[in-house]
Amino acid sequence: MLAFLVRRIALCAVVLIGTSIITFAIAFVVPADPAVTMAGAKADPQTLATIRHELGLDQPVYVQYARYLDRALHGDLGRSYVRRESVTHLIASRFPATAILAVAAMLVSLILGIAMGAVAAAYRGESTDNVLLVVSLALVSMPVFWLGTMLLIAGGLYLHSFPLGGYAGPLSLVLPTLTLALGAAGYYSRILHTNLSQAMDQDYVRTARGKGLSGARAMMKHAMANAMLPLVTLAGLDLAGLLSGVVLTETVFNWPGIGRLAFEAIFNLDIPLIMGTVLFSAFLVVIANLLVDLLYAWLDPRIRLSGAA
């Protein structure tokens, strides 16, 4: 187990370094001069030179990268050029709103997806199965921002009870949560359906049915546990993706989360904030990946003994 742990963590470090290099490269692709962004277009050359020196922009690229990495490891992601605030602080202040939305959406999509997938698998090959297949493909095919807008129209115009965006109380959570959850539910239901169908053909399920268990009970008691595991893995990774900012949904509902923050950063070409949000997202995904793998290894001895990741 220890060897597996070391290997896995080393792999994480490699991926994170790669991620930080790509994130760092963003600064060099953006044509805007940070000094001009900060001091304004009318600043004199002396001021610009001073700012460049303070930011370390007069240093060679590898020195800049090393300094960037060193600061990032200490939790310092620099200062937003436009908002003049610490990027770490900005991300931390926006994170709760995104986290609430992401967790709510994940729960709803899992419940809906598992229900749809289980029902479809129970009626495998029958018309219920086919209808649910088409429904789930339809859910996956809806553009998130359009679904959000449609829910806004329905919720705000016809139901009158839902706030039209912003972050104010539990009721304001309903529409953005549904917007995020419906597509994911369609996706999860397909995956659970595939896994359940495979599990139902296994010998242990056949044995259970041979003992006299009904199809539905055999599915719930025996096949479900095995079919759920890959789904939970996937959900863990998706949650990290959701946490790192759901740009479109937050834009439609004017939700004050990390997605909006990143969106504004990109439009202002606010380099440290763009780099910070991208790096933070990637960091969450890497950590989620690691946790899921460790959980798997702990649950399944075949993985930790073979040493395969």
The 107-146 site mask, x for binding other proteins (CB under 8 A), equals --------------------------x---xx-xxxxxxx
**Assigned token pair, 233:** 């893995």
Residues 240-259 that bind other proteins (CB under 8 A): 241, 244-245, 247-248, 251-252
Q: Is 285 in the site for other proteins (CB under 8 A)?
A: yes
Total residues in contact with other proteins, by rule CB under 8 A: 48
Burial 117-141, CB ≥16 within 10 A → b, else e? bbebbbeeeeeebeebbeebeebee
- Quick one: 296 exposed, middle or buried, by C-beta within 10 A (0-12, 13-18, 19+)? middle
- Give every CB contact of residue 230 below 8 A, 6+ residues apart in sequence: 191, 195
Q: Is 185 in the site for other proteins (CB under 8 A)?
A: no
Contact 87, 272 (CB under 8 A): yes
Q: Is 278 in the site for other proteins (CB under 8 A)?
A: yes
Complex with other proteins: residue 198 or 214, whichever CB lies closer? 198
Q: Is the dihedral of CA 42, 46, 47, 50 positive or negative?
A: positive
What is the C-alpha to C-alpha distance for residues 114 and 157, in angstroms, rounded to an integer?
A: 31
Q: Give me the least distance between CB of 19 and other proteins, in Å please.
A: 5
Supply angle C-alpha 51, 54, 56, rounded to 5.
Answer: 110
Please provide the size of the chain in residues.
Answer: 309
Residue 29's Cβ-side half-sphere holds a number of Cα atoms within 13 Å equal to 9
Question: In terms of Cα–Cα distance, which of 263, 273, 278 is closest to 19?
Answer: 278
The 203-242 site mask, x for binding other proteins (CB under 8 A), equals --------------------------------------x-
> Of residues 5, 150, 213, 295, which one binds other proteins by CB under 8 A?
150
The 19-58 site mask, x for binding other proteins (CB under 8 A), equals x--xx--x--xxx---------------------------
Catalog residues that contact other proteins under the rule CB under 8 A. Answer: 11, 14-15, 18-19, 22-23, 26, 29-31, 133, 137-138, 140-147, 149-150, 152-153, 156-157, 241, 244-245, 247-248, 251-252, 262-263, 266-267, 269, 274, 277-278, 281-282, 285-286, 289
